Chains A and B, each alone.
Chain A
């Protein structure tokens, strides 16, 4: 009879285990960067540029030095004398740390003050006098590419224009042939607005250089501590073993805390110069106007269609606005990230995509804002295009999708742009969603409501997306391959400590990683401590973003536990006095095949590893695993939204949101559902209110929470969640990424619903966010509504 441990009881796979980290968070005992106080610590503030494009004619810091309590004032000139005025970006460009020649976006870092307290540092920043000579400002690609456009990056050699790169993928000739055969060609043009991940906690660092040991410790808000250590070693020219990066609790990340920001670098230099700890905590405006944004891309596309609804080909022409420095934090070898993952869930014979990246006078640092590097834009365009094409064909939008889905038995499937998808049940997910929302019933209700002058709409978004960068062939950061790691040490009593190269920002790794170990070894999850974020103790890993923790680090956790189990098996054979071949494993226990009653627990094996190992065996029970995934993981999602639009005002209310997610095997269903609901809310935010734009002078509109609108509990709709499970064929426990799915696939469902409600106007597109005035304009003027900058701010 089996004596295996009950997996759910020990907190293994599938257990909605309550989170370990909550014990400190609900007590207010989290330890975020700003909570850390070091002896003799000083405080740094940054003076930012009020102008978007200007030549600096003079900087006078003398009055700042006179403010009592000021210890250091840093300018670009001082940085330059140490060769630190510019730093390399993660995208092989350069970025100013503190401006020397010009400022190139509003909010650019111009000077820093280090003082006894942050109030003094702020006072002293205001005492710095900077004289600027304003230059013409560029806020969109059309301006950037105009013939007489001012050159933004005149600091660079061989940069005659404002083009960052040109990039192309797909089969141009094949696509041309597909269009030649089309019965119908559908077109769509839209702007996906600039948005900001805006975790509640802003960025910050405490640099602590100890002259006596030559060791630099930096506590900082980073999703990728090991990459930062490598970058600091390169930028500051310090030996890597003398750098310790500690990422403590993070108050959200969503991609914003991947890049290297000037504030980090300046705080490090200040600590080295002053030989005291220097803390820099950004304020919300600093975070919104200068750190990594998401999106800001212009998408035009065409779809070649046969009358029966078959898609023959797709063309996309896109322009992306990268701001003043190309500092996208994305690790693929593709310049525009994974934009070409568009249409991956549909069986499309030919596709072609071109992209031009441009410099503008806007904040740099495109980040994957809760998405895998432009996947959100890809899926938004895809699903808006699908709805437009279904309308042009006069076909039901659900049926049109179903007719073009890659079928369950067609995997592995090569997408038109070259990705290899490996698993999914797309039709089933759609069925579950349609059933849940009551599709046919709603269509009837919508028609009846229309008779009474009410506007109801239903929007569908279905998509598969590539999650879990990477595989080392196609994904790296500064040449470092995108693997990840886990190190597991089982103590003599069978308790354990696990460390990984990932870094939770709310995803609950301390809870879920232990569940994977419990699943592999039968050690109760509560007996396993999880640690991350300290480069002196954690194995080298690439961090947490792009929904890569579970696909990559989570796989490494499985693999290291299996290494431990392999050694434990030898110990078990020794204890049971049989050969290894005669031993079987069940959860938490090895037993003799011929006598299942005779067995030893994993805890007994752990004790033996320290007290009773066989001759010749190395003592101890610990190991490390580095995992290079063979492919990305491909979750699938179907989101369906119903809305009612008020024809008098353009205000729209969400009636229902149904989400069907297939992210493979769920480690902790409670946490997965939490991720999906958080993602849906960011989708709703982008569709309804959340965006950053600029006026013609390059002033950032959306520079604080009074202008940058985030939904509260009051506006946010309720969610109905459903699941389908198609395990990943290559992940050790069959899991797929999920954190970003709803943010990626969600926006199109909301927008498609509103567009469906106002279908009779003939309007093809309203740019996000669908603010009431934009919807009202579409309803009354019956034309497409663009949201591209510049916006008018004079009225």
Chain B
């Protein structure tokens, strides 16, 4: 039991199989019983109430649902929740501490790297994966790393600048 009470719901007729999964989400172990067909994006959003992960296209094209899976960017709208069992997932909610923004978040804000904000969590996580492996990327490397994420508002130029801004800040942090 996780709270003061838990309502026992009558199971629908029909035998819906259920699998128990344990996923480390933003550093904390989360366990849930899921239908095997449940998408990871839906478990994060509806199950774990982490609505910063957005679903845009359902076909792995737009990247709004990008999360880090054991540190690698993946599109959570086309991964099953059961595939994440035993793995680590980082969402946008795990990017910053409680008060301080992550330099990538600061960069997006400072360089006007977002407008409607819908693609932003996925963009920032794709950027994080890049900067984790390549702390000093060129503009072309940033553009290539973000090419799995669509933005309809900004035209990307400011997103690229945001990521380069973050790279610089992270480098200055690591040297100081």
Chain A contacts to B: CB under 8 angstroms = 18-19, 21-32, 34-35, 37, 68-69, 116, 119, 198-202, 249-254, 283-285, 505-508, 670-671, 673-674, 677-682, 704-706, 710, 712-714, 716, 718-719
Contact = CB atoms under 8 A, between A and B. Distances in A.
A254 B152 CA distance: 9
Nearest to B144: A714
Contact of B155 (A23, A199, A200, A678): A678
Contacts of B159: 713
Contact of B120 (A25, A116, A284, A716): A25
Interface stretch (B78-86, B90-98, B167-175): B90-98
A284 B45 CA distance: 18
Given A710-B150, A713-B156, A506 B115 contact: yes
Q: How large is the interface on B (under 10, 10 to 19, 20 to 34, 35 or more residues)?
A: 35 or more
B57 A25 contact: no
Nearest to A677: B155
B153 A252 contact: yes
A26 B125 CA distance: 11
Contact of A710 (B101, B124, B152): B152
A280 B4 CA distance: 32
B13 A678 contact: no
Contacts of A673: 112
Interface string B133-171: 000000000111011111111111111100000000000
Given A69-B12, A678-B154, A27 B59 contact: no
A575 to B, nearest CB: 39
Contacts of B124: 26
B19 to A, nearest CB: 15
Given A284-B58, A680-B155, A251 B105 contact: no
Given A27-B101, A716-B155, 12 more contacts: A31-B51, A35-B51, A37-B46, A68-B14, A199-B152, A200-B150, A284-B59, A674-B112, A674-B115, A678-B155, A705-B61, A712-B146
B146 A249 contact: no
Contact of A201 (B35, B54, B96): B54
A678 B153 contact: yes
A207 to B, nearest CB: 19
A291 to B, nearest CB: 14
Contacts of A712: 146-150, 156
B40 to A, nearest CB: 14
Given A200-B116, A252-B152, A674-B115, A284 B57 contact: yes
A506 B153 contact: yes
Interface string B33-75: 0010110000001100111111111110110100000000000
| Leading 4 A-B pairs by shortest Cβ distance | A28-B52, A251-B118, A25-B117, A506-B116
Contact of A27 (B54, B58, B64, B92): B92
Interface of B is mostly: loop
Contact of B62 (A21, A68, A705): A705
Contacts of B13: 68
A28 B50 contact: yes
B114 interface: yes
Contact of B147 (A679, A704, A714): A714
B7 to A, nearest CB: 12
B145 to A, nearest CB: 8
A712 B122 CA distance: 14
Contact of A200 (B64, B92, B108, B160): B64
A685 to B, nearest CB: 9
Contact of B59 (A199, A202, A706): A706
A705 B62 CA distance: 8
A677 B109 CA distance: 17
B118 A200 contact: yes
A28 B155 contact: no
Nearest to A24: B117
Given A68-B12, A716-B156, A283 B58 contact: yes
A699 B93 CA distance: 41
B117 A21 contact: yes
Nearest to A710: B150
Contacts of A22: 108-109, 114, 117
Nearest to B118: A251
Most buried by B among A34, A202, A716: A716
Contacts of A27: 52, 92-93, 95-96, 101, 105
Given A28-B121, A705-B150, A670 B112 contact: yes
A666 to B, nearest CB: 14
Nearest to B108: A26
19 contacts: A18-B109, A21-B117, A25-B114, A26-B109, A26-B124, A28-B51, A31-B51, A34-B55, A249-B116, A251-B56, A506-B117, A674-B158, A677-B158, A678-B115, A681-B155, A682-B152, A704-B59, A710-B150, A714-B147
Interface of B: 12-14, 35, 37-38, 45-46, 49-59, 61-62, 64, 91-93, 95-96, 101, 105, 108-110, 112, 114-121, 124, 142-144, 146-160
A633 B115 CA distance: 24
A508 to B, nearest CB: 7
B148 A28 contact: no
Contacts of B38: 119
Nearest to A685: B152
Contacts of A198: 152
Contacts of B45: 34-35
Contacts of A254: 152
Contacts of A682: 152
Contacts of A21: 117
A506 B37 CA distance: 34
Contact of B110 (A18, A24, A713, A718): A18
Most buried by B among A22, A252, A506, A716: A22
Contacts of A28: 50-53, 91-93, 95, 121
Most buried by B among A19, A202, A678, A679: A678
Contacts of B151: 200, 713
B3 to A, nearest CB: 16
A681 B58 CA distance: 23
A284 B63 CA distance: 13
A700 to B, nearest CB: 15
A713 B120 contact: no
Contacts of B50: 28
Nearest to A249: B117
Contacts of A251: 54, 56, 64, 116-118
B116 A505 contact: yes
Contacts of A34: 45, 51, 54-55
Contact of B52 (A19, A29, A284): A29
Contacts of B91: 28
A32 B54 CA distance: 9
A719 B56 contact: no
Contacts of A508: 115
B56 A681 contact: no
Most buried by A among B49, B154, B158: B154
Given A18-B110, A251-B117, A677 B154 contact: yes
A705 B57 contact: yes
Nearest to B110: A18
Nearest to A120: B12
B143 A714 contact: yes
Contacts of B119: 200
Contacts of B58: 283-285, 704
A122 B174 CA distance: 49
B34 to A, nearest CB: 11
Most buried by A among B38, B45, B108, B112: B112
A398 B53 CA distance: 48
Most buried by B among A22, A710, A713: A713
A715 to B, nearest CB: 8
Nearest to A668: B112
Contact of B118 (A29, A116, A201, A284): A201
B109 A201 contact: no
B147 A507 contact: no
